[in-house]
Structure 1
């Protein structure tokens, strides 16, 4: 028996499983935060057609409402470090509580004013939780020497996909938005014990003094994150609407759009974590941005549900690794005392996608149709691959950051 277990210990699959388990344990607090945020936004995105119908506005005005509400996500750049200083270990839980309150209000919203306020609360709270979760992953990467961003973001995508599918079935069963969000709230409560942060004494320079932090490098990295989130946000929020309105699908078929996007993202991120440790991160991001552009264009041009689903899957696969790899490189390119500030700023720039996405998708859809909206986002992803990523790569090379460990 002893020889059998020794042989198992030497087996590559067993070693891989043990390493994955160790990686999950090392980043367990961040993982809980990502899952909570995934549950919340999946519940909203998969119900966007019915919530939009409750409010009774057109595509352009809806995009403006989401734009106004999403200012809360940008404020996470300042709110996350401030919340961490004010409440310490409970900061991620406080962010999750604001998110839950916002989504519950969104489920009951009947007017533009209420949905704007609801999305402001939801985006601000989820932004706080997300920034703190990313900072926790970066700290875990520094402590373990392992690349953990793709793993955590991949499990976020898996949680999102499962939640979106569950919401689709709930809608088919006649459950309304308030009931769906109450179920989401219960799931969040169950994860609260794992969102308690460690008693890590923050550096004085975290936000109060960022002298010496390479701001240009951090901000260009934030633009890379923004591009990935833009492709993600465009498909998450509008894929269900595209399937139901443009292609004539039902509620469950509409919910499958964001679910397949999230599935592609989960496969890409988990695959990169398991098999891509030695891959050059910038080359991976360029290739992934191209795949995302092709996938989103295919979704826009789809003549039927099957082709649209393939497009969403490819789009998710493409955008999957761009954001996590960019955040990982930002965390490695700065000194430890600047890590929370750098992650906060890069992530906050990324959250500008929740400003730009609704505006681009809403107004282009109103003027030229939903198909054209997906074409525009696809073109942006291809431009990022051709222009922005090569420029950022040159900045990182001058900084001489340890890029090879980010793969």
Structure 2
């Protein structure tokens, strides 16, 4: 199945992935500016980003309810909420108010993340085709493009607020294109299986590690290039942009790989590759070598998260798919918020080089989780009915 046909089949959720990517790419490239605007240390700034985690945890419980209530308009409502939520953080100079504004961002982003991933999984089941990598690739493309645009606007001296406002207008213009009818699946008659806790936890753990690693580079690569390696604003913006571009390439390639290799094998190879990239970025003597490391990390980590979400959709009964993906997705997406906090604390204590080496070790932790997922797949129904 071609990448083009995969995107045509899933064009509506793919549009939502573009919206999420645009805003997080914009934020990642603005991190040095926003951090300076707040007057926050590495540790404090990382801690403030925990506000997003509060919103994300709320999204875990709200998303399935929102989905049932709004149905075909769920993605539309979530995009509107996200566009307006992102208008706040770039204008705030008080740390506590910034944390509160990021909680709203986390809530809106979490709602959209859960719903759009559930829609992709539904389409995968309907068409019996892998679609997750292609959709996550659209996030990466949008993320990279937004980071590059911000590099230009920062060099021109434009403050963050009008840039976020411009992206908000762009997102609102896409709302008419994401309306998607929902097919609700009832439990099979006589179904006696227990709640699929283990598939959710294992796959959620894989997604968590992937997104923690991705978030670390998103939030701290620009600072690493500008502060550790003495790069300029445009050079700093190239850090997250390089991650986004290589992740897009990796995910588009992963779309083809997913049809030929088992997911667990791909996760194994990708984990080792991405860990090596983190080591290169940590030890880089110049921005160019750091870009190489970020690129290798992006290639590897690009497929781990989508594979984890696709796996949980295959390991649970159809009537529990949306709820299971919402749980696994929120476990995974929490990495986007906890990782910058942990990175800030490590950077404050040991420096960014050591912090990126810790990312390499974290990525290798996906290997035992992948083995356990393989056992769940091998046992089939036993994985679904594992005791909770």
Which residue among 263, 268, 279 is the counterpart of 1:281? Answer: 263
Counterpart of 2:78 in structure 1 is 95
Within the alignment, does 1:221 sit opposite 2:194 as a pair? no
Quick one: structure 1 residues 347 and 276, their matched pair in 2 at CA, closer, same or farther if it must change by over 3 Å?
closer
* Partners of 1:210 and 1:239 in 2: CA distance: 48
Q: Does the CA-based 8 Å contact 2:140-2:244 persist in structure 1?
A: yes
* Partners of 1:89 and 1:188 in 2: CA distance: 18
Which residue among 212, 227, 252 is the counterpart of 1:230? Answer: 212
Q: Secondary structure of the equivalent of 2:86?
A: helix
Query: Greater relative contact order (Cα 8 A, min sep 6): structure 1 or 2?
Result: 2
Post-superposition CA distance 1:14-43 (Å, at most 9, x none): xx6xx4433222111110110000011111
Counterpart of 1:43 in structure 2 is 26
* Partners of 1:63 and 1:99 in 2: CA distance: 21
- Kindly report which structure 2 residues correspond to 1:3-22, keeping only aligned pairs within 5 A, or say none: 19-22=2-5
CA RMSD of aligned residues (A): 1.9
Q: Does the CA-based 8 Å contact 1:217-1:396 persist in structure 2?
A: no
The more displaced of 182-191 and 30-39 is 182-191
Within the alignment, does 1:352 sit opposite 2:334 as a pair? yes
Within the alignment, does 1:260 sit opposite 2:242 as a pair? yes
Q: Does the CA-based 8 Å contact 1:297-1:375 persist in structure 2?
A: yes
Deviation at 1:48, TM superposition (A): 0.5
* Partners of 1:49 and 1:347 in 2: CA distance: 28
- Kindly report which structure 2 residues correspond to 1:8-407, keeping only aligned pairs within 5 A, or say none: 19-198=2-181, 200-203=182-185, 212-385=194-367, 387-399=368-380
Q: TM-score, normalised by structure 2?
A: 0.94
Q: Secondary structure of the equivalent of 1:127?
A: helix
* Partners of 2:297 and 2:381 in 1: CA distance: 31
Quick one: structure 1 residues 213 and 161, their matched pair in 2 at CA, closer, same or farther if it must change by over 3 Å?
same
Q: Does the CA-based 8 Å contact 1:95-1:124 persist in structure 2?
A: no
* Partners of 1:59 and 1:260 in 2: CA distance: 23
Quick one: structure 1 residues 339 and 368, their matched pair in 2 at CA, closer, same or farther if it must change by over 3 Å?
same
Counterpart of 1:9 in structure 2 is none
Deviation at 1:391, TM superposition (A): 2.0
Quick one: structure 1 residues 79 and 211, their matched pair in 2 at CA, closer, same or farther if it must change by over 3 Å?
farther
Structure 1 stretches of 5 or more lacking a match? 1-15, 403-407
Q: Does the CA-based 8 Å contact 2:207-2:309 persist in structure 1?
A: yes
Post-superposition CA distance 1:230-270 (Å, at most 9, x none): 11001011101111111111111111101111111111110
Task: Give structure 1 regions of 4+ aligned residues with deviation exceeding 4 angstroms.
Answer: none
